[in-house]
Amino acid sequence: MNADEVQKLLKVGRSAQVDWVAADAAQGTLASLLVAMANSQGGVLVIGVSSAGTLTSLRDSEAAIDRVLQAALAVEPPLIIPLPKAVKVGQKEVVVVHIPPGMPHVYALDGRYLYRKGYENAPLNPRELRRLMMERGELSFETEALQGGSIEDIDWDKAEAYAAGLRGMRETDARQVLLKRGCLIQERGKLRPTHAGILLFGKDPQRFLPGAEIIAVRFAGEEMSDTFTRQDIVGTLPEQIRRAETFLVDNLRKDVQLGAKMERREYFEYPLEAARELIVNAVAHRNYSISGDSIRTLIFGNRMEVHSPGGLPGPVTIANIKDERFSRNPAIVQVLADLGFIERLGYGVDRVIELMRQQQLRAPEFQERAGGFKVVLYNQPGDDDDSEKGAPEISGQYRGVAVNPRQEAALVYLQTEGNARITNGDLQALCPDVHPETIRRDLADLVTKNILRKMGEKRGSYYVLNQE
């Protein structure tokens, strides 16, 4: 961080991720700020600034850096942060301390767990502390015993089929397999299902965890409206994944592409494997301790959104999501991997990005928000040149001329027996989610390219293939 960046921070003011202290701030004050930022979203601490935001005199930057490091070591567990830096701002010097987001632990100072509430430090209440510990892998919700549950709540036909299909495990008894997989737990001499067990093999998982479902919606346009198709997907996690995939197949738009010999080929507006991968990831890695929210899959005219309750787990951040590997629910991940749903070693983010690239679509957008995580797929080309059309630009060709998927649909229609002509209305019926003006421009463009000929005038006009 340079002098200009420091001055910009001071100008913007204190916040949850930016704070400053005077040059002589005590070690305890520094430690409190470090703990609160580490237990939140990280941030920047500047030493050598008055409470009013003006630079003060920091005579010994090395001593200030040592004080910060001592404060970090006083935290439980010790806080490992990048080495603080001295920065010259005009004639004065400050020390800048970076606390990265996505720290791997939950930190305490003298038994107090703090977090940032606005620009102040505040204690975490028991519920917030428990949730944070689960977010960062300090506690495991999935392997806790299910309150009020018994082994009678497990569907043993499903459990036995799973155990019988396992390879490389000597144990074949379903109860022992589920015990080893973290789906059962021994308590006071009795076996009881864990949260993972009821989610994966329960007779009625939503009886105990009502938020453990997928809400899938297809809207008619690009915003939420009263015109939609909705399905509330419940059951065990494997059943939810299969039903969600069926919803995708039924509700994703299919575009048409012509091959070299005019054969008709259909493809989805998003790579189906990429859309499915996002569903599987959400099911595998969501925070199931959050009972008031569900996984939501929302399909709009120009994008698909997958919302997952709970922030990114452990040390995973938006910046490192492609490379960092951490699972909030290792027991669930293991069973889903055994069943062939996921690759156990990764999140599939790289695969989603590559599949979108192969279909020449925009890269996925990842967003972390309060209480959740969202991934957005756009059915628009990566260069955004055609983004207003709301459909991907595929590099199809007809007679050596590039045509887009809607134009290909028109050409397939005209190649079908009995269809010698096509109107704006015909193409609108083939592409119901596309604006009529876009339909008109697509057909006019084919005339400009000498592929079609326009016949008639105004409402009586239609288009035929140019045979010349």
Contact 283, 333 (CB under 8 A): no
pLDDT value at residue 382: 72
Angstrom distance (rounded) from CA 117 to CA 448: 60
What's the average model confidence in pLDDT over 22-48?
95
Percentage of the residues of the chain whose pLDDT score is greater than 90: 55
Q: Supply the DSSP string of 196-250, one letter for each residue.
A: HHHHHHBSSHHHH-TT-SEEEEEESSSS--S-EEEEEE-SSHHHHHHHHHHHHHH
pLDDT value at residue 409: 83
What's the average model confidence in pLDDT over 239-262?
81
Phi-psi map region of 59: left, alpha, beta (phi>0 left; psi -120 to 50 alpha) = alpha
pLDDT at 144 over 50: yes
pLDDT at 402 over 90: no
pTM for this entry:
0.65
Name, in order, each residue with C-beta under 8 angstroms of 26's C-beta and a sequence gap of 6 or more.
none
pLDDT value at residue 84: 95
pLDDT at 396 over 80: no
What's the average model confidence in pLDDT over 418-442?
84
CATH of domain 214-378: 3.30.565.60
Q: How far apart are the first and last CA of the chain?
A: 66
Query: Which H/E stretch holds residue 415?
Result: helix 405-415
3-124, CATH topology level: 3.30.950
pLDDT value at residue 139: 80
Other beta carbons less than 10 A from residue 126's beta carbon: 8
Alpha carbons within 13 A on the beta-carbon side of 340:
5
Which residue, among 315, 297, 314, has the nearest Cα to 306 in the 3D structure? 297
CATH of domain 395-465: 1.10.10.10
Least confident of 9-23, 228-242, 295-309, 410-424: 410-424
- pLDDT tier at 191 (50, 70, 90 boundaries)? very high
Q: Are strands 372-378 and 228-233 parallel, antiparallel or unpaired?
A: unpaired
pLDDT value at residue 264: 56
pLDDT at 113 over 90: yes
pLDDT at 45 over 50: yes
Angstrom distance (rounded) from CA 394 to CA 65: 55
- pLDDT tier at 388 (50, 70, 90 boundaries)? very low
Domain ranges of the chain: 3-124, 151-208, 214-378, 395-465
What's the average model confidence in pLDDT over 424-449?
86
Which residue, among 133, 89, 125, 126, has the nearest Cα to 107 in the 3D structure? 133
Least confident of 70-74, 131-135, 195-199, 327-331: 131-135
Least confident of 33-47, 121-135, 148-162, 251-265: 251-265
